[in-house]
Amino acid sequence: MSFWENIKMALGAIKSNKMRSLLTMLGIIIGISAVITITTLGNTLKSTFNNAMSLTGSSNLIMAQLYPNDGDYDIDIDISDYITMDMVEEFMDKYPGKFYFGSDTSAGEGTLINSKNNTVNVSILGGAEGTFDSYAIKMLYGRKVTFRDSLESRHTCVVSDVFVEQYFKNKEEPIGKQISVTVNESLPVDFTIIGVYKYNEMIMGNSGGVKREDLKTNLIIPYSVALEVNNRYRDDLFYSVIFSFDKSLTPEEATSTLEDFFSEKYEYNKNWGVKVVTNEQLMSVMSTAINIVTVIISVIAALSLIVGGVGVMNIMLVSVTERTREIGIRKALGAKKKTIKGQFVTEAIIICLIGGIIGILLGLLNGELVAIIANKIVASQPDYADLLGNVKVSPPVGGIIISLIFSTLTGVFFGLYPASKAAKMNPIDALRYD
């Protein structure tokens, strides 16, 4: 009997017992559907995460961090071991226009009184050009706070468009205006506005439901001034320091440049060195973590396929018993053992494959439904929508192929015993079966 005849007979047997065949497939359908749903969501999450990171421009961030030469983080660290602001300044002077200081520090809370005698609250953040990359802050007009502003302790600041609405009620031009900020309920400090950025709820971390006029946004000032207003001059020592690098540099070039600079600075330090990590590497670690979690959960979900396979074997044994006379007649007419075995194995494979295909379609449908729900949630939060964009389903091509192969192997494995039992039947005993 040819392969195609086996398939034709298998489909005929499935068609004649539709309900039983569907119930037999159920375990396979659920198992494959769960695996495809999970891998689809994992791929979609990874894709959305990578897109969000690329849109923010944060892929050009790099961090230099102290690490112990012997790997023991419990070792004491002296003041002389820290990365200093002098090192940072030397590095910036050595590579002008290539790297931007991106570390930040909080200077606490500030309050202002607007022209209508209303209080405007702000959080005060010290930083420089690279800080805007770290927080994915988009400038609307004016300029950013710079590292030079920090070195010269200029009392400049960049405010949000929300702050402009809150403080300048008559829509004045804010650039060049001087504002007086009471920092941490202490004496007021004067700053000159040099730029305005677009407020983003997701980046700034305010919870939803707060009216725009009541939002607390970041007032960004030079790093050194943030230390000055809080009398925290020791904070110009760094355990880790963040930079953003120019688009003309590749992550590899930026990494080697920083490594060369700091390896020279720490050449004679017996206890501590500097490790350089790019945001691209952190993204890769995150993607790997998502992949590992996806695989682990998929394997757990795939265990239900064993239950489905046992169900297939059980039904195939019932089918063999019901078709005993048919098997006896075929063997009496000269059918070989391998022909009988091939017929029943093919039937088991077809059942598992159909179940696998239905499971794949259901899994992809589940992924689409989750994407629709996610897009509705994102659309209801405009600031999130700017960053996340449209959540698109990323079907796992590899997962689909593996699912089809696994379905086939399940059919072979769990169909083999019933098929062997059918092939070994004595034709005389089979013909006597009533």
pLDDT in tens, 259-303: 999 999 998 888 899 999 887 777 777 778 878 887 887 787 777
Task: Please give the pLDDT value at position 378.
Answer: 64
- % of the chain exceeding 90 in pLDDT: 27
SS3 184: coil
Q: Is the pLDDT of residue 127 over 90?
A: yes
User: Who wins on pLDDT, 211 or 57?
Assistant: 211
Does residue 278 lie within any of the structural domains?
A: no
Task: Please give the pLDDT value at position 64.
Answer: 92
Residues 213 and 307 in one domain: no
Which residue range(s) make up the domain with 185?
A: 76-270
Question: Which H helix or E strand runs over 272?
Answer: strand 272-278
Q: Which residues, listed in sequence order, are joined to residue 253 by a DSSP beta bridge?
A: none
Burial of 317 (0-12, 13-18, 19+ CB in 10 A): middle
Altogether, the residues listed in the chain come to a count of 434
Residues 149 and 233 in one domain: yes
Q: Can you tell me the distance from the alpha carbon of 103 to that of 90, in angstroms, rounded to the nearest whole number?
A: 16
Residues 263 and 301 in one domain: no
Q: Is the pLDDT of residue 393 over 90?
A: no
User: Who wins on pLDDT, 19 or 159?
Assistant: 159
Residue 126 confidence class, pLDDT cut points 50, 70, 90: very high
Average pLDDT over every residue of 394-399: 79
Query: For the chain, how many structural domains are there in total?
Result: 2
Q: Can you tell me the distance from the alpha carbon of 78 to that of 72, in angstroms, rounded to the nearest whole number?
A: 15
Q: Can you tell me the distance from the alpha carbon of 16 to that of 38, in angstroms, rounded to the nearest whole number?
A: 34
Residues 377 and 402 in one domain: yes
Residues 148 and 244 in one domain: yes
Q: Is the dihedral of CA 18, 24, 27, 32 positive or negative?
A: negative
Q: Which residues contact 139 (CB under 8 A, 6 or more apart)?
A: 132, 158, 195, 196, 197, 198
Average pLDDT over every residue of 61-88: 86
Q: Is the pLDDT of residue 234 over 80?
A: no
Structure tokens of 247? 């688009």
Q: Can you tell me the distance from the alpha carbon of 321 to that of 76, in angstroms, rounded to the nearest whole number?
A: 76
- In single-letter form, the type of residue at position 377 comes to I
Task: Please give the pLDDT value at position 379.
Answer: 64
Residues 101 and 144 in one domain: yes
Residue 139 confidence class, pLDDT cut points 50, 70, 90: very high
Q: Is the pLDDT of residue 383 over 60?
A: no
Residue 381 confidence class, pLDDT cut points 50, 70, 90: low
Helices marked H in 205-336 — which ranges?
A: 223-229, 251-265, 279-302, 304-322, 324-332
Residues 30 and 143 in one domain: no
Domain boundary among 246, 270, 294: 270
Task: Please give the pLDDT value at position 345.
Answer: 85
